[in-house]
Structure 1
Amino acid sequence: MIPSARLSAAIEVLADIIARRRPASDALKDWGLAHRFAGSKDRAAIASLVYDALRRRASSAHVMGDEGPRAMLLGALALARGLDRAAIAALCTGDRFAPEPLSDEEARRLEALKLDDAPPAIAGDFPEWLTDELEAVFGEATVAEMQALSARAPIDIRVNTLKAERARIIPALAHLGPEITPHAPTGLRFSAGEDGRGPTLQVTPEFLKGLFEIQDEGSQLVAMLAGAGPNMQVVDLCAGGGGKTLELAALMDNSGQIYATDADARRLAPIHDRLTRAGARNVQVRTPKGRADEPLADLDGKIDLVLVDAPCTGIGTWRRNPDTKWRVRPGALAERMKDQDFVLSRAEPLVKRGGRIAYVTCSVLPCENDERVAAFLAAHADFVSVDPQEVLALAPDSLSERDDLVSPAGLGLQLTPLRTGTDGFYLAILERRIANSE
């Protein structure tokens, strides 16, 4: 497909997403099935255009004066890809398969590209109803933080230290252009190309042998800062597919015991093969047999560390999933907060005296982060919040003295694309007092 035809296809997919309010991945899959002549490179290029348009949906509508799919794409070509009016006009010729030529109004708006007078939700490309929450954590930096969360994300991997060292993996993947991650000690980073595609790492011999896992640097960091160590008894309470479970196994050097579970048994399905590939031998997967089943009941008061990778809105992953930000609703946020309180209540009885809960979200909202921690502490007097500066002491030197990473209420740490070059992650450590509080 020629570049102009890819633009037309992207507009078609965007129209489907808007009309049917469906996930971008579903719309792209259906388009591919209906247009089997399109090769893998074409489909990847179209997906990249669609996701760039969704990243800049609000600002594109503002500069173009139109909320339709064509305006979304034209605005994104200018705002996200830096194309000028002439370059965009050269793609929109009206010839076979190409979008119609630019109207005089479209050309004028692409020339002006005014965002100076745009409100924060427009300039930062986020739902307006989240403004107060975001300003509570970011203040005057809200727009800059959200613009960083609207950019493309790189692809990060974590070298599996149970089987390899980073120095060994770098030359093995040299043909893919790896870079050392800025902070994570076992991470490597790969940049996407012009079409938004990154290297296909899952087919490399090194991946198939379990020498590395694909994992954002922020996820690597919060798992590391949770404080798991050799010979500990650890629970991964919301393990899902096992990404952080695998890192915990490596951090513990296959010693001690990790109990991995998830309220949704279906999410645990991939974990078994991943554990085998990674060579993780200290993990016991406990799959619930039904909604009322508590597979960890025998572990009450025995656990050193409970990792709670809590269900959340996923706002911190908007770089990778830009369509989700336009589908999140206040009702869904309220439900996630209930879920977060529930998983913390499940973690509480497991922790022995002197043991800890590591509460993690991939969110930047105080109501999912500091406020949930504060609510838990208010209800459990025998728990205290560990000073975030103490947690940072476990971090690499590049982060260990970063006061700006402490959350607004001082209960946890907040990573963001702007601050740390990672996805948005929150981490708070809660410790059960050794002695009963009076």
Structure 2
Amino acid sequence: MTPSARLSAAIEVLADIEARRRPAPDALKDWGLAHRFAGSKDRAAIASLVYDALRRRASSAHVMGEASPRAILLGALALARGLSRAEIVAQCSGERFAPAPLMPAEAAALDRLDLSDAPPAVAGDFPDWLAEDLSAAFGDAVVREMAALADRAPIDIRVNTLKTERMRLIPDLAHLGPQLTPHAPTGLRFGHGEDGRGPTLQVTPEFLRGLFEIQDEGSQLVAAMTGAGPDMQVVDLCAGGGGKTLELAALMDNSGQIYATDSDARRLAPIHDRLARAGVRNVQVRTPKGRGDEPLADLAGRIDLVVVDAPCTGIGTWRRNPDTKWRVRPGALDERMKDQDLVLARAERLVKPGGRIAYITCSVIPRENDARVAAFLKAHRDFTAVDPREVLALAPDTLSERDDLVSPAGLGLQLSPLRTGTDGFYLAVMRRRR
């Protein structure tokens, strides 16, 4: 397919998303099934165009003066990809499979690209119902923070130190252009090509041998700052597919014991193969047998550290999942907050005197973060918040004195694309009195 034909296809997919109010992955899959002539590179390029348009949906509609799929894509070509009007005109020729030529109003809008009068939710490309929450998180920097959360995310990996070292792995992946992550000591970062695709790391021999896992640098950092170490008794309470479980095992050097579980047994399905591939030997997977089953009942009051990677809105991952930001609703936030309170109450029963709970979300919303910690501490007077600066001391030197990472209420740490170049992650640690 020509670049122009890919633009037409992206407009078609965006129209399907809008008309049927469906997730972008579903619309892209159906388009691919209906257009089997399109190769994998074409489908990947079209997906990249669609996701760039969704990242900049609000600002693109504003600068173009309308919110049609075509207008949003044209605006995103300028705002997200930096294409000039002339470059966009060249691809919109109206010839075979190409979008129709630009109308005078469209050309004028692309020349102006004026966001000076745009409200914060438009300039920062986020749903306006979240404006109050996000302002509480970021204050006057809300537009810059959210604009950074609308950029493309790099691809990060965590080198599995149970099997190799970062500097030993780099030569094996040199053909893919790895760079050191700015902060995480065992991370490598990969960029995107012009079509928006990164390297297909999951098929490399190094991945199949368990030498690394794909994991955002922010996720790597918060796991390291939980304080997990050798010979500890640790619970990963919301383990899912096991991403943080694997890092905890490496931090503990395969010693002690990790108990990995999740309220949804289906989410645990991938963890067994991942543990085997990574060479992890200190993890017990506790799968619930049904609704209401507590597979950790025998561990009450025995655990040094409970890691709660809590269910949340996922706002901090919008760089990777721009489709979800326009589908999240206030009701979903309310439900996640209830889930967070329930999982923290469950964690409390496991912690021994002097033990800790590390509460993590991939959100930047204070109601999911500081507010949940404050509610927990109010209900459990035998717990105290660990000073975020004490937690930060466990971070790499590039971050260990970054007081600006302390969250608005001073109970935890907030990472973000603008502050740390990572996804948006929150971490708070609470300690049970002896």
Matched, 1:319 2:283: no
Partner residue, 1:244: 244
Aligned AA (2:80)? A
Counterparts of 1:75-154 in structure 2, within 5 Å, are: 75-154=75-154
Rounded Cα–Cα distance in structure 2 between residues aligned with 1:388 and 1:201: 35
Rounded Cα–Cα distance in structure 1 between residues aligned with 2:23 and 2:163: 37
Rounded Cα–Cα distance in structure 2 between residues aligned with 1:25 and 1:281: 36
Partner residue, 2:207: 207
1:38-86: per-residue Cα shift (whole Å, max 9, x none)? 0010001000000000000000000111111001100000100111111
Rounded Cα–Cα distance in structure 2 between residues aligned with 1:315 and 1:339: 16
The SS at the match of 2:234 is strand
Counterparts of 1:377-396 in structure 2, within 5 Å, are: 377-396=377-396
Partner residue, 1:193: 193
- Distance apart, 1:112 and its partner CA: 1.0
1:352-399: per-residue Cα shift (whole Å, max 9, x none)? 000000000000000000000000000000000000000011111000
The SS at the match of 2:280 is coil
Question: Could you tell me the TM-score, scaled by structure 2's length?
Answer: 1.00
Partner residue, 2:61: 61
Partner residue, 1:328: 328
Rounded Cα–Cα distance in structure 2 between residues aligned with 1:394 and 1:244: 17
- Distance apart, 1:22 and its partner CA: 1.1
The SS at the match of 1:188 is strand
Rounded Cα–Cα distance in structure 2 between residues aligned with 1:347 and 1:338: 14
Question: Could you tell me the TM-score, scaled by structure 1's length?
Answer: 0.99
1:162-199: per-residue Cα shift (whole Å, max 9, x none)? 00000110011001000000000100000111111000
Partner residue, 1:160: 160
Rounded Cα–Cα distance in structure 2 between residues aligned with 1:373 and 1:148: 26
Partner residue, 1:349: 349
Rounded Cα–Cα distance in structure 1 between residues aligned with 2:22 and 2:259: 36
Rounded Cα–Cα distance in structure 2 between residues aligned with 1:267 and 1:310: 14
Rounded Cα–Cα distance in structure 2 between residues aligned with 1:258 and 1:12: 48
Partner residue, 2:281: 281
Rounded Cα–Cα distance in structure 2 between residues aligned with 1:11 and 1:218: 33
Aligned AA (1:134)? L
The SS at the match of 2:352 is strand
Aligned AA (2:64)? M
Rounded Cα–Cα distance in structure 2 between residues aligned with 1:35 and 1:242: 36
Rounded Cα–Cα distance in structure 2 between residues aligned with 1:20 and 1:220: 37
Counterparts of 1:350-365 in structure 2, within 5 Å, are: 350-365=350-365
Rounded Cα–Cα distance in structure 2 between residues aligned with 1:393 and 1:292: 38
- Distance apart, 1:142 and its partner CA: 0.3
The SS at the match of 2:66 is coil
Partner residue, 1:224: 224
| Displaced runs of 4 or more, over 4 A | none
- Distance apart, 1:37 and its partner CA: 0.4
- Distance apart, 1:221 and its partner CA: 0.3
The SS at the match of 1:173 is helix
Rounded Cα–Cα distance in structure 2 between residues aligned with 1:176 and 1:39: 22
- Distance apart, 1:23 and its partner CA: 1.1
Report how many aligned residue pairs link the two structures.
434
- Distance apart, 1:268 and its partner CA: 0.3
Aligned AA (2:65)? G
Partner residue, 1:51: 51
- Distance apart, 1:408 and its partner CA: 0.6
Partner residue, 1:375: 375
Rounded Cα–Cα distance in structure 1 between residues aligned with 2:416 and 2:384: 25
Rounded Cα–Cα distance in structure 2 between residues aligned with 1:76 and 1:365: 26
Rounded Cα–Cα distance in structure 2 between residues aligned with 1:20 and 1:311: 27
1:297-323: per-residue Cα shift (whole Å, max 9, x none)? 000000000000000000000000001
Aligned AA (1:202)? Q
Matched, 1:291 2:300: no
Rounded Cα–Cα distance in structure 1 between residues aligned with 2:196 and 2:93: 24
- Distance apart, 1:20 and its partner CA: 1.2
Rounded Cα–Cα distance in structure 1 between residues aligned with 2:106 and 2:335: 41
Aligned AA (1:184)? A
Aligned AA (2:285)? V
Aligned AA (2:228)? A
Partner residue, 1:300: 300
The SS at the match of 1:353 is strand
Aligned AA (1:299)? L
Quick one: percent identity of the two aligned structures?
Answer: 82
Partner residue, 1:413: 413
Rounded Cα–Cα distance in structure 1 between residues aligned with 2:314 and 2:21: 18
